[in-house]
Amino acid sequence: MRVGILGGGQLARMLAEAGGPLGLDFDFLDPAADACAGALGRLHVGPWASPAGLAAMAACDRVTADFENVPAEVLARLAGQTAVRPPPLAFAAGQDRLEEKRLLEGLGIAVAPVAEVSSRPDLLAAIERIGLPAVLKTRRLGYDGKGQVVLHSHEDLEPAWQQLGGHKLILEGWIDFDFECAQTAVRSADGEVRCYPLTRTLHRNGVLRLASTPAGVSADLAARAAAAATTLLEALDYVGCLTLELFAAGDRLIANEYAPRPHNSAHWTIEAALTSQFENHLRAVCDLPLGSTEARGVALMFNWLGAMPDRNELLRVPGLAWHDYHKEPRPGRKVGHATLVAPDQPALGSALESIKPLLDRETAALLGEFANFSRTSSATT
């Protein structure tokens, strides 16, 4: 079976790595000639709606995507020619932050207060209703902290408007959260849903830096996170893996956004789950039986940004798995990750003691904060 993937980044690369043992072949469509997945299949370079690219995707048995901002209308066109999974509706709803919030709220999933902003008077009215601090966000094309500005006081309004005022916007209420978490789940075409253990996450400047499982939460909170993701999957008639990002504040869960694709926060599943999110996404897309989402142990994932660190000493740490995405170094770019896996928390803690001296100062500081689960109060992911 041949699978077409719109997008040729690291998620597409890891999908292809998981799909090879399943006997799957891959085509990728990406605007970049150096897309890092290209070495693992046939890479078609061009715009999302290029005739040649669409023809290549339409010739595949199944089509999916590794990027949430692939135009939904392109996926809808392909859906008339081949099986597109997840459905274009899941991308269309997630590509507009206002529509996404309305969808979640309509399903009974709590979200931050939100208001549509089309003008300066709209912004002032929204602030009057929601209050400050708040986050001004573009409705479209925002990921990894892009397209948003935190408003702490009225003095921040004009600079924020100068930066974002040319776009359709929303104002979103500030969430004073205890920690962030992410629920990854997979749904098959016949409606079976399986949820991975909840992941605790830490972001900086809108970019995921650390992720761990178990999340260290109550059984009730974990069950409610799984129920929210299941509700969303069923409402979208979804097929594949999806991640719902959440803020935890006391005993409340507030949804931030969802990703209709495999997600950075669940990369730990490659080594630390019986079936990785990438394999399960492909199993669902290709009508294969879903695999177990049970964890093999405990895990902590590090994101490498900008450039890969020196691997020589890090690879000496028992239980460390290394992933280089084969991407050119660039400030702030996700270029790889590492996952530390152990049978239990004491063993993980011992391994972390070995790894701490090998980390750069910033990562070590984040690890110290994450280990203490200290309170964070900036909702800008």
- Please say if the pLDDT value at position 375 is more than 80: no
Burial of 218 (0-12, 13-18, 19+ CB in 10 A): exposed
Alpha-carbon distance 172 to 227, whole Å? Answer: 24
pTM: 0.93
| Residue 281, helix vs strand vs coil | helix
Q: Is the model more confident about 380 or about 218?
A: 218
Q: Is residue 101 one of the residues assigned to a domain?
A: no
Confidence of residue 148 (pLDDT cuts 50, 70, 90): confident
Pairing state between β 2-6 and 62-65: parallel
Q: Total structural domains in the chain?
A: 3
305: β partners: 334
Are 76 and 219 members of one domain? no
Alpha-carbon distance 98 to 115, whole Å? Answer: 8
Are 189 and 117 members of one domain? no
What six digits make up the tokens of 368? 């110290």
Are 218 and 321 members of one domain? yes
**Interval 28-34 mean pLDDT:** 97
Q: Is residue 119 one of the residues assigned to a domain?
A: yes
Tens-digit pLDDT profile for residues 276-291: 999 999 999 999 999 9
Question: Which CATH number fits the domain that encloses residue 202?
Answer: 3.30.470.20
Are 260 and 308 members of one domain? yes
Tens-digit pLDDT profile for residues 34-85: 999 999 999 999 999 999 999 999 999 999 999 999 999 999 999 999 999 9
